[in-house]
């Protein structure tokens, strides 16, 4: 009953015999430029936080999304404003990238402002959750971002719930959850996907397969060549995307989104990528205990910024000169400087950071508030 594929041919993926056409065929040159900017934004957010953290200005753990940005950017790009998302620890940029198309500074867009996200990172009262829980455990009912706990895969059931409610209310939205490949071993992953399949709920499960779950390699996590094949066991489609290529991610995710939006139910999109740094910043110096250097070098070879630029050059959307103007790609967080990024990107983030730094801490007595809602 399920149409599944590991192939990059969308026609085959959709099980139709329509001429080969990809969702990305509809992207304009402006879309490509926007995607490139968003990749810069995600990258800059990450390296900026790495630096702020090194300077001791941040608490908590930073789970770098370096080298994995194409997954977030490509997945979020095709969503409608009213769609739900559920990002987890490695997805901090997703909070502001949601509905970014609606205009970076547009207060009505259905994503968080950079001020809100930075306030959360800095633990300030101006965070949407008033910094009661840390880092990625943020969300917004109004902006349709599900708040996660630390318990991995724990929001997939909530994603089924929010879409069910929308369906009952006559809204044709989807929910997109982001998950590391390791998280999929949790029982609740299975339970929720199974129920979504039964109920044909529009839940798109993005797997960021970065080859490692903390210190554990994939062959200790599951026994499949392509993780996407897990979908076969639920009778739902499973797609494989090149997680370094924002366009391939967009294509595969949009197939999943269209499948969901047309009432056919859930699916899984495996995006193959590689974790650039340690599991968290505390692990940067320890990751070589379990991860061979060659693998790291190999895994970081295809920087998503570089991959997109190459594509744009070959399509005539970008000149080599333009591409070289902001050479952030293929540089570690320690090497890259603000000059490697478009000024617009640096400005945007800097504004958020400065807002957060100046924002007030919540008052200590808030610790005892909101345990219950008083009616």
Partner 1 sequence: MAATAVGTEKKNYLTALKEAIAEEMARNPHMICMGEDIGALGGAFGVTDGLIAEYGRERVYDMPISEATIVGTACGLCLNGKTVMVEMQFIDFISCGFDQIVNMTATYHYRTAGDVSMPMVIRGPAGAYGGGALYHSQMNEAWFANSPGLKIVCPSTVYDAKGLMKAALRDPNPVIFYEIKDLYRRREIEEVLPEEDYIVPLGKARVAREGDAITIVSYGQNVYHCLKAAENLESEGYQAEVIDIRSIVPLDEETIIESLKKTNRLLVVNEAPMTCGFAGEILSRMTEKAFEYLDAPPMRITRMDTPVPWVKPLELYVLPSVEKITAGALKLIKY
List interacting residues with its own copies (CB under 8 A). 1, 185-191, 194-195, 197-198, 200, 219-225, 229-236, 265
Task: Please state the three-class secondary structure of 58-122 as a single string.
Answer: CCCCCCCCCCCHHHHHHHHHCCCCCCEEECCCCCCCHHHHCCHHHCCCCCCCCCCCHHHHHHHHC
The nearer residue to ligand TPP, 110 or 146, going by C-beta atoms, is: 146
Residue 177 makes CB contacts below 8 A (sequence gap 6+) with: 85, 86, 146, 155, 156, 159, 203, 204, 205, 206
Using the Cα atoms of residue 124, residue 128, residue 132 and residue 136 in order, give the sign of their dihedral: negative
Half-sphere exposure (Cβ direction) of 212: Cα atoms closer than 13 Å: 21
Closest-CA residue to 80 (of 103, 104, 102, 96)? 102
- Of ligand TPP, partner 1, Mg ion, none, which one sits near residue 90, judging by CB under 5 to 8 A according to partner kind? ligand TPP
Q: How far is the CB of 187 from ligand TPP (least distance, A)?
A: 10
Report the site for partner 1 in 192-221 (rule: CB under 8 A).
192, 194-195, 198, 213-216, 220-221
The nearer residue to its own copies, 44 or 234, going by C-beta atoms, is: 234
Report the site for partner 1 in 159-178 (rule: CB under 8 A).
159-166, 168-169
Q: How far is the CB of 235 from ligand TPP (least distance, A)?
A: 18
**DSSP-derived 3-state class of residue 213:** strand
The nearer residue to partner 1, 38 or 127, going by C-beta atoms, is: 127
d(CA 42, CA 75): 13
The nearer residue to its own copies, 229 or 306, going by C-beta atoms, is: 229
Both tokens of 361, joined, read 């801490």
93, 180, 243, 362: which one binds Mg ion (CB under 5 A): 180
Alpha-helical runs (H) found in the chain? 10-13, 29-54, 69-77, 94-97, 114-121, 156-168, 187-199, 246-261, 293-299, 304-314, 320-325, 343-358
d(CA 249, CA 41): 17
- Of partner 1, ligand TPP, Mg ion, none, which one sits near residue 74, judging by CB under 5 to 8 A according to partner kind? none
Report the site for partner 1 in 42-61 (rule: CB under 8 A).
59-60
Q: Does 187 bind partner 1 (CB under 8 A)?
A: yes
- Of its own copies, ligand TPP, partner 1, none, which one sits near residue 20, judging by CB under 5 to 8 A according to partner kind? none
290, 296, 313, 327: which one binds partner 1 (CB under 8 A): 290
Q: How far is the CB of 244 from Mg ion (least distance, A)?
A: 15
Residues that bind ligand TPP (CB under 6 A): 89-90, 150-152, 180-183, 186, 208, 210, 212-214, 275, 279
Do residues 272 and 208 lie in contact, with contact meaning Cβ atoms separated by under 8 Å?
A: no
The nearer residue to its own copies, 193 or 271, going by C-beta atoms, is: 193
Q: How far is the CB of 9 from partner 1 (least distance, A)?
A: 32
Q: How far is the CB of 374 from its own copies (least distance, A)?
A: 35
Q: Does 366 bind partner 1 (CB under 8 A)?
A: yes
Q: How far is the CB of 298 from Mg ion (least distance, A)?
A: 16
Query: What is the per-residue DSSP string for 23-45?
Result: GGGG--HHHHHHHHHHHHHHHHH
CA-CA-CA-CA dihedral for 309, 281, 287, 149, to nearest 10? -100
Closest-CA residue to 149 (of 164, 170, 127, 134)? 134
The nearer residue to its own copies, 237 or 362, going by C-beta atoms, is: 237
Closest-CA residue to 20 (of 29, 10, 34, 8)? 10
- The residues binding partner 1 (CB under 8 A) are 59-60, 123, 128-134, 137, 139-141, 146-147, 149-152, 154-166, 168-169, 182-183, 185-188, 191-192, 194-195, 198, 213-216, 220-222, 286, 289-290, 361-373, 375
Contact positions vs Mg ion (CB under 5 A): 180-182, 210, 213
């Amino acid at each position: 009953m399920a149409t599944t594929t590991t192939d990059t041919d969308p026609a085959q993926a959709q099980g139709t015999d329509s001429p080969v056409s990809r969702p990305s065929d509809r992207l304009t040159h402006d879309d490509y430029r926007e995607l490139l900017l968003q990749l810069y934004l995600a990258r800059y957010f990450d390296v900026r936080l790495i630096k702020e953290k090194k300077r001791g200005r941040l608490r908590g753990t930073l789970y770098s999304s370096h080298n994995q940005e194409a997954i977030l950017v490509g997945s979020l790009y095709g969503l409608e404003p009213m769609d739900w998302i559920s990002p987890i620890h490695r997805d901090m940029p997703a909070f502001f990238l949601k509905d970014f198309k609606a205009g970076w500074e547009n207060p009505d867009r259905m994503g968080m402002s950079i001020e809100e996200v930075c306030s959360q990172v800095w633990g300030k009262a101006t965070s949407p959750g008033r910094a009661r829980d840390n880092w990625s455990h943020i969300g917004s009912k109004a902006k349709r971002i599900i708040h996660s706990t630390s318990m991995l895969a724990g929001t997939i059931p909530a994603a089924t719930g929010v879409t069910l409610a929308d369906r009952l209310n006559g809204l044709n939205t989807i929910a997109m959850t982001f998950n590391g490949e390791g998280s999929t071993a949790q029982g609740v992953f299975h339970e929720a996907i199974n129920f979504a399949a039964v109920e044909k709920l529009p839940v798109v499960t993005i797997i960021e397969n970065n080859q490692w779950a903390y210190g554990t390699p994939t062959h200790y996590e599951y026994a499949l060549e392509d993780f996407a094949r897990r979908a076969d066991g639920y009778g739902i489609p499973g797609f494989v995307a090149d997680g370094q290529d924002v366009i391939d991610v967009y294509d595969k995710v949009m197939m999943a989104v269209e499948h969901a939006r047309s009432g056919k139910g859930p699916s899984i999109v495996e995006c193959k990528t590689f974790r650039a740094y340690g599991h968290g910043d505390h692990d940067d110096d320890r990751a070589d205990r379990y991860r061979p250097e060659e693998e790291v070098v190999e895994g970081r070879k295809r920087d998503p910024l570089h991959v997109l630029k190459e594509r744009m050059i070959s399509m005539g959307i970008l000149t080599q000169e333009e591409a070289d103007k902001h050479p952030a790609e293929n540089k570690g967080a320690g090497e890259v400087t603000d000059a490697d990024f478009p000024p617009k990107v640096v400005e945007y983030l800097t504004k958020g950071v400065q807002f957060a730094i100046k924002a007030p801490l919540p008052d200590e007595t808030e610790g005892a508030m909101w345990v219950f809602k008083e009616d």
